[in-house]
Structure 1
Amino acid sequence: MTQHPRQKGSDAVWLDAAYDMLTESGVDAVKVMPLAKKLGLSRTSFYWHFKDRDALLDAMIQRWEDKNTGNLIARTQAYAETLTEAMFNLFDCWLDERLFDAKLDLAIRNWARNDPALQLRLDKADAARAKAIKAMFERFGFSPQQAQARAMTVIYTQIGYISMQVHEDRAERINAMPNYIEVYTGQPVEHTDCMRFFARHNHNP
């Protein structure tokens, strides 16, 4: 029986359902039949959108690379007059899930432990993130050695934060961010940069 297009879902619908399974239960839980049941669609309708399960998983990895790594790099390159302003641009990623999805990052890292090919892509992504943050520090006068050390401090701290699944009050987290930036940069945080950052995240300190 031929299904009407509306009965087949869409690429995004299947991918969103796979995202929920991946972030909640891990990659082994992402299978076609459970996805079809979750969506109330037939198993065959899946193949209108993806060649097979591997194609779906590849699309999920691509979503992660485009969103998390792509947006992080873009934030390091955003216009900033001071280093603290540049760091606040990067810190937008830690507060806005539209820019950076911490749950997906954790799921990818857990998945990569048993998938050597994905681990290579993860290593490449982490290297690209570190390179972008290093370039940001260099842009504001740090030597390559100092920029590298500070970039890796930022990267390792955030990976640890994600891996430990730290849960804290959003307001408390935002209030602490200027202190983190002072640690990372060794420079006092400009009040105007701080206020702009608070304002765009609707935060009243």
Structure 2
Amino acid sequence: MADTDQIDTEDKSSGWRGSREGWLTAAREAFVSSGLDAVKIQPLASRLNLSRTSFYWFFKDRAALLDALLDDWEATNTRSLTDAAGAYAETVTEAALNLVAVFMEGGPFEAGLDLAVRGWAHQSEDVAARVNAADAERLAAIRAMFERFGYAPVEADVRARTVYLVQIGYISMQVVEDMATRMARIPGYIHTFTGQSPTEAELRRFHAQCGFDEGR
């Protein structure tokens, strides 16, 4: 195989060799569905109908691809959560609904990816460190959300952990729950998380945000 450092960098982003995003998407799908051992260059090349050497136009080696997977996980899951926690809301219940919406079916948080990365963390101290750092960042964002609405730091911390650990529990236990059942529980969850009940108007907006029609 040619020294990848000598490959011309022109047109590395797309073309007949595929694209960096294409390789990364294939790796993410294989990782989530079949685990870390499925993320190997030749099987991914076969999946994409590309040559193995095409891979090296976008990644130095498999380790670089795995690092990119972790970067993608942080950009997808951690950023979606922290953005939601910092989003504008007039009330704490609206803020909590904004946060919960991230985890709902069709939301930006990819539960399967989070579960796969947490499984990977049991095999790698470096990955475990990144997971711990991501958890700390997520909790800090939720804690700041509660503090923004006047909760004392200790109470904000406990409420943040209650919100986050419930959501991660859903993912880790791979809970199967139809949308109607989940929606029926949302007002109770929000009251538990915040100490206040969401208004009917807030719930209607939340349902619309999640694409839920309670009349069906």
Q: Deviations over 1:151-181 (max 9, x none)?
A: 1111111111101111111222123212111
Q: What pairs up with 1:164-203 in 2 under 5 angstroms?
A: 164-203=173-212
Give me the whole-angstrom Cα distance separating, in 1, the residues matched to 2:124 and 2:97: 34
Tell whether 2:109 aligns with 1:106.
no
Give me the whole-angstrom Cα distance separating, in 2, the residues matched to 1:183 and 1:168: 19
Give me the whole-angstrom Cα distance separating, in 2, the residues matched to 1:171 and 1:23: 26
What code does the residue aligned with 1:86 have? A
User: What CA RMSD, in Å, does the superposition of the two structures yield over aligned residues?
Assistant: 1.6
* Residue equivalent to 1:126: 135
Q: Deviations over 1:123-176 (max 9, x none)?
A: 000001001101111111111111101111111111111011111112221232
Q: What pairs up with 1:1-20 in 2 under 5 angstroms?
A: 6-20=15-29
What code does the residue aligned with 1:172 have? T
Give me the whole-angstrom Cα distance separating, in 2, the residues matched to 1:156 and 1:56: 29
What code does the residue aligned with 1:136 have? M
Give me the whole-angstrom Cα distance separating, in 1, the residues matched to 2:36 and 2:107: 22
Q: Deviations over 1:61-105 (max 9, x none)?
A: 101101110110010111101000001110121125452111100
User: Which ranges of 4 or more aligned residues in structure 1 deviate by more than 2 Å?
Assistant: 4-7
Tell whether 2:56 aligns with 1:47.
yes
Give me the whole-angstrom Cα distance separating, in 1, the residues matched to 2:18 and 2:211: 36
Larger mean CA deviation between 194-203 and 111-120 belongs to 194-203
Shift of 1:19: 0.8
* Residue equivalent to 2:172: 163
Shift of 1:10: 0.4
Match of 2:150 among 141, 148, 155: 141
* Residue equivalent to 2:42: 33
User: For this pair of structures, how many residues does the alignment match?
Assistant: 203
* Residue equivalent to 2:4: none
Give me the whole-angstrom Cα distance separating, in 2, the residues matched to 1:185 and 1:11: 42
In the alignment, structure 2 segments of 5+ residues that lack a partner are 1-10
Give me the whole-angstrom Cα distance separating, in 1, the residues matched to 2:211 and 2:50: 40
Secondary structure at the counterpart of residue 188 of structure 1: coil
Give me the whole-angstrom Cα distance separating, in 2, the residues matched to 1:19 and 1:98: 17
What code does the residue aligned with 1:38 have? R
Give me the whole-angstrom Cα distance separating, in 2, the residues matched to 1:159 and 1:139: 23
Give me the whole-angstrom Cα distance separating, in 1, the residues matched to 2:178 and 2:85: 25
* Residue equivalent to 1:152: 161
Match of 1:88 among 97, 106, 113: 97
